[in-house]
Copies of this chain bind each other. A is one copy, B any other.
Amino acid sequence: MMEFSAWMSAIQARTEDALARFLPPASTAPASLHEAMRYSVLGGGKRVRPLLCHAAGEICAADPASLDAPACAAELIHAYSLVHDDLPCMDDDVLRRGKPTCHVEFGQATALLVGDALQTLAFQVLAENGGTPAMMAQLAHAAGSRGMAGGQAIDLAAVGKALSVADLEFMHIHKTGALIRAAVLLGAHAGQVDEASLADLGRFAGRVGLLFQVVDDILDAEASTATLGKTAGKDAMQHKPTYVSLLGIAEAKRKAAELRADAKLALARFGMRARRLGELTDYIAERNF
């Protein structure tokens, strides 16, 4: 079996190809919008959601070709959320994936439209490439006001407030967890899956989603802007509650270790078929960018 790093590179490369294919060419009118959309999606990003989608699909014997659409749909939703999140009225950030953010490069109005059109494209890609209404409903639920967008609203309301760890967890389950969960479950739905396996994959995704966020908070506190490719230390600067600010760095690391172990436990029924999801869990836990 392929080494994890080779598998990861292969999935990242096929995702990049698929995204480049699904995005309208920069030569198509309106060229300025399409150029900005491609700028915001291509040539960067860890592609964590596509990796999770493909790894979950492998468990369920999905044809890899059938996984490109759900993987890219999840990534396009993620990319749109970053573009809108970076806008001055939200996080007001100038750096993303080591490049100027979309609104810095193309202006706020275009960045607004880029995010809007990337969200639309996510549903279009799924609808035109084998996605069922149930899969589209799942993606929509994860992205919408009871998922990711809702999590951002909770985040907005939380700035400067005293949050409990439970409140913080509630926010992250929505803000990042819902889409990560959808990426895993969409991958599973592209193959054959029974209810019990779905339940375990859902539990796995819940743990991995929180793990991702705890590690993010630790990195924001410890890593440098150059390593992250985005502005480091922002959470503290903006007085945003994080796992680190609420728990301290040592306890946040203990929490991450616990989530990592729990995530792997949820994969028990799949045995070696869950190898990639297990490796991805380690990768998410150990990443330093």
**Are B30 and A150 in touch, CB under 8 angstroms?**
yes
What CA separation (Å) do A109 and B88 show in the bound complex?
Answer: 9
A137 at the interface (CB under 8 A from B): yes
Given A127-B140, A140-B127, A141-B124: A150 touches B89 (CB 8 Å cut-off): no
Q: Dominant SS at the A interface?
A: helix
A152 at the interface (CB under 8 A from B): yes
Q: Give the shortest distance, in Å, between A158 (CB) and chain B (any CB).
A: 10
Partner of A140, one of B109, B123, B133: B123
**Are A156 and B87 in touch, CB under 8 angstroms?**
no
Residue of B nearest to A174 (CB): B30
* Chain A 123-146 interface mask (CB, 8 Å, partner B; 1/0): 110111001111011001101111
Residue of B nearest to A146 (CB): B24
**Are B133 and A131 in touch, CB under 8 angstroms?**
yes
A80-135 at interface with B (beta carbon < 8 Å): 80-81, 84, 87, 89-90, 107-110, 112-113, 115-117, 119-121, 123-124, 126-128, 131-134
What CA separation (Å) do A127 and B138 show in the bound complex?
Answer: 9
What CA separation (Å) do A29 and B49 show in the bound complex?
Answer: 25
Q: Give the shortest distance, in Å, between A185 (CB) and chain B (any CB).
A: 15
In the complex, besides A24-B146, A119-B119, A124-B140, 4 extra interface pairs with C-beta distance below 8 angstroms are A37-B145, A120-B140, A124-B141, A128-B133
Q: Ordered nearest first, which 3 A-B pairs have the shortest CB separation?
A: A124-B140, A120-B144, A89-B108
Report 30 cross-chain contacts, Cβ distance below 8 Å, ordered by A residue.
Answer: A24-B145, A29-B150, A30-B150, A30-B154, A30-B157, A33-B149, A33-B150, A37-B145, A81-B116, A84-B116, A89-B108, A109-B156, A110-B156, A112-B112, A115-B116, A116-B116, A116-B119, A117-B149, A117-B150, A119-B120, A120-B144, A121-B140, A123-B123, A123-B136, A124-B140, A124-B141, A126-B136, A127-B136, A133-B133, A136-B136
